[in-house]
Amino acid sequence: MKDITSAILENYARAYDEDKTHRIVRHFLNKNDIANAASIQEEAQNVADQFSLKIDTLPVANQMQSGRCWIFAGLNVLRERVAKKLDLESFELSQNYIAFYDKLEKINYMMESLIELKDRKWDDRTLTWVLETGIQDGGQWDMFVALIKKYGVVPQSAMPETYQSSHTYLMNSLLNRYLRSFFSKIRDLDDRAIADLKSETLNKCYDMLCDCFGIPPKSFGFEYVTKDKEYHRADGLDPMTFYDKYIGIDLDDYVSIINSPTADKPYYKTFTVAYLGNVYGKEVCYLNLPLDEFKEAVIRQLKDKEVVWFGSDCGKFGDRVSGYWDPKSYDYDSLFDIDFNISKEDALMYRESAMNHAMVLTGANIVNDGVSKWRIENSWGDAQAHKGYYVASDAWFDRYVYQAVVNKKYLDDRALAALKGEKLVLDPWDPMGTLAD
């Protein structure tokens, strides 16, 4: 059968009409959400906000209408050090400050990539990917680290949010239009003319970022009040001294581990992604581990009372209002009488799933030496879920968590040895790079 004939449609319609279950489902879905129809009440008890291993953390932040989850998650990890050191009840590092330099570095990175690719055919896949992806809000842990090392951090009071930093769509669109125009001009220019045009373009983009985000501070004062209501102030700080004084983590001690069970990514190998980055010359690096070792490293870090940055597909089997992710809480198969099952490997290979959100793990429920659920600090504000904290079942973790950042001391000898191996280069459009799209 290659064509849908009238006879086929008549058979379909007759069989559908004779099935009363379809009639009931159709009537319900006429004015109700599919997820609500498939929700399983009995599973709700399994994702309650109760944990045997829980790290007390600060109130959640809110990334608003932007895709800066990876920046928020990274700064949420770092701010815990500040809060603990200074005995603070609430505190945020400036997401706007990091986002400013991320945008500036991405603009430079994109222009250098376009210069390198300027002689490719207009429909070359890599060139098309660079042009279509453009400047966006997403990013990766190693991109976050590159920014911290180069620019330091500042408290949110030193560079607060603006409307544009929290609502980035139009600004990104205009920047991408300008950069694509830049590419259209360099195709027939010599190297000197290209360098001049790049310098002019970068300067204009810097001006636009200042207009939208504000001017990044070079020096600032820092005021804070402790839990005991004691006031303190430090003057003459700059972004690097602030990091050294109040955070002081050696970010080189941390490594990005992934669980990607696809044939092209052998376990105990490291990977990078072509044309993925922000600070020019800095690569992302992933170490692929079997799921059991991946989870064990995460648990070890949580047991030492240190939260964990992670990347996942948060669009699957979740209830944003009540705050849980759990594939066992939804029965779409029975609702439609269709087997929707697909393996983690196939979902990655065939574009059913990929990383799209970064958050922070702050706890786990360990029962009989196994994990039943995980506690998650999100960056969607505190109006939903458990004051902005979410719960994910272990089944959801196994299926939809792809990346975590852990201290190297929590890895075994085989994993540590693998970090010294040559990085295999993945295509720009590989699923492991999607968090930065």
Q: Which tokens go with 430?
A: 């590989």
Q: Rounded to the nearest 5 degrees, what angle is found at the Cα of 123, between the Cα atoms of 118 and 128? A: 70
Contacts of 372 (CB under 8 A, 6+ apart): 46, 365, 366, 393, 394
CA separation for the pair 432, 246 (Å, rounded): 32
* CA dihedral for 209, 211, 215, 216, sign (positive or negative): negative
Given a contact cutoff of 8 angstroms between Cβ atoms, the answer to whether 51 and 393 are in contact is: no
Residue with tokens 């997403």: 138
Do the beta carbons of residue 293 and residue 412 sit within 8 Å? Answer: yes
Q: How many CB atoms lie within 10 A of CB 15?
A: 10
Sign of the dihedral through C-alpha 420, 287, 97, 377: negative
Nearest to 371 by CA among 46, 57, 76: 46
Instruction: Yes or no: say if 379 and 392 are a contact pair by the CB < 8 Å rule.
Output: no
Residues tagged active-site: 69, 357, 378
Round to whole Å and give the CA distance between 40 and 328. Answer: 8
